[in-house]
Amino acid sequence: MRLSRYFLPVLKENPAEAQIVSHRLMLRAGMIKQSAAGIYSWLPLGLKVLKNIENIVHEEQAKAGHLAMLMPTIQSADLWRESGRYDDYGEEMLRIKDRHGRDMLFTPTAEELITDIFRGHVTSYKDMPLTMYQIQWKFRDERRPRFGVMRGREFYMKDGYNFDLTKEDAMHAYNRHLVSYLRTYERMGLQAIPMRADSGPIGGDDTHEFLVLADTGESEVFYDSAVTDLTFGDRDINYDDKAQCQSIMEEFTTKYARTDETHDEALFAEVPQERRKVARGIEVGQIFYFGTKYSEAMGATVQDGDGKQVPVHMGSHGIGVSRLVGAIIEASHDDKGIIWPEGVTPFHCGIVNLKQGDAEADAACEDLYHHLTKAGLEPLYDDRNERAGGKFATMDLIGLPWRLTVGPRGLKNGVVELTCRKTGESEELTPQAAIAKVIAQYN
């Protein structure tokens, strides 16, 4: 992409309404624009990051054998009355009457509708296990929306639902989600720690929240610092292997790590003192096993191997896709701007032309652009007639991991400059070597 043809409305000043750094930087980098309280448009740069995160979630869910589908945003109130949640949900639910006066709502989550789909089509244990998920816009009418996309009203969320014959099968689904989530967050450059949590309005006993440590987090968390040494890495996972999934679940959840909702001082005291940490965390996902809560209320039963009708065991599993954009920035920025992890960056590499209009510099930039594009990467070429300082400030603000700087002086010596956004380190390389090095970062 050439910046002269892009829509990147960066702001020089810090917007007064933004209280936390991710909100500030997303506004300043031209990623989002508020259209109403807690409701945002995603401008081109922001949408690219959102889509990269969405794609990682889709890829990891497919690996785990979970099926993508999509439910509507506007649902009938009737289903929510069946489960009893229509009245429970309170003012956070956006309630709507259609032109015929029927009660509708904007879905905050979809346990009822997915259970309705299941009961309408699945009658036998032979059609299970089954896990379906969607990535869809949700609405929660927060009293005080704030912190940008971290606590908006309209938000983009992955919500998945498993249907199993037995509790044991459902716990395997739980473990499978835990494992796939660990891998998902690591691909985004995040360490998200599963912590024992409270189930809230979803219900159920077994639930873990995934939290990213950050000073601006909304939750107080208590953990054994040994959990932060765990990394998922390049493990080869067979998602059908119950023992393997269970053992990874145990590896990542046995050490003490809890939110304030479930914190237990006595247990925490057993952690060696030097490893006892109290911090703040941003919730970026949650998994639940809630058994037959919805299947009993809504009559989602199947015939088991003995011909008996039994209610199915269920769980649900969420990842805050739009919230993750903010969470990643909270975890990865400096005073100049965002520092995107390579897994989610909107462009793979910036190209800064120090002397736009200089025939040699222009040609060298076009050549870099061409080679990076040919290798399947997306560069962002700042081809505007701006001074170098402004171009550098923009690149630092929007946080691309790598920047190539091209100017007449370097070209005279046959080199361009390659700069790493994270370390700030630069090196002079031939254009060929610089291209090869950038390509190598993404393979």
Which positions lie near a copy of itself, rule CB under 8 A?
5-7, 9, 30, 33, 35-36, 39-44, 46-47, 50, 65, 67-76, 79, 91-92, 94, 96, 98-99, 102, 104, 106, 113, 116-117, 120-122, 130, 132, 137, 139, 141, 143, 153-154
- The gap between the terminal CA atoms of the chain, to the nearest Å, is 21
Dihedral sign computed on CA atoms, order 118, 121, 127, 130: negative
Residue number, 9 or 189, with CB nearest to a copy of itself: 9
Alpha-carbon span 241 to 225, nearest angstrom: 29
Residue type, 26: M
Q: How far is the CB of 174 from a copy of itself (least distance, A)?
A: 19
Residue 109: which of 65, 50, 155, 144 has the closest Cα? 155
Q: How far is the CB of 260 from a copy of itself (least distance, A)?
A: 26
Q: Which is nearer to a copy of itself, 62 or 436 (CB)?
A: 62
CA atoms within 13 A on the CB side of 308: 5
Give 34 or 405: the residue with its C-beta nearer to a copy of itself. Answer: 34
CB 77 within 8 A of CB 69: no
How far apart are CB 351 and a copy of itself at their closest, in Å? 18
Q: Which helix (H) or strand (E) is 27 found in, with range? A: helix 21-28
| Residue among 7 and 443 whose Cβ is closer to a copy of itself | 7
Determine how β-strand 301-303 pairs with β-strand 103-106.
unpaired
Cα–Cα dist 73/58, whole Å: 19
Q: Is 380 strand, coil or helix? A: strand
Cβ(65)–Cβ(237) below 8 Å: no
Shortest distance (Å) from residue 210 CB to a copy of itself: 25
Whose Cβ is closer to a copy of itself: residue 7's or residue 13's?
Answer: 7
> CB of 70: closest distance to a copy of itself in angstroms?
4
User: In the complex with a copy of itself, which residue's Cβ is closer, 30 or 431?
Assistant: 30
Return the HEC string of 394-414: HHHHHCCCEEEEECHHHHHCC
Rounded to a whole number of angstroms, the minimum distance from the CB of residue 246 to a copy of itself is: 21
* Residue 268 identity: F
Nearest distance, CB of residue 67 and a copy of itself, angstroms: 5
| Cβ-based nearer residue to a copy of itself, 2 or 280 | 2
Residue 108 in tokens: 């905050």
Closest CB 435 distance from a copy of itself, rounded Å? 23
Residue 160: strand pairing partners: 133, 317
Find all residues with CB under 8 Å of 346, minimum gap 6, and list them: 45, 48, 49, 52, 340, 380, 398, 400
Q: Which is nearer to a copy of itself, 73 or 262 (CB)?
A: 73
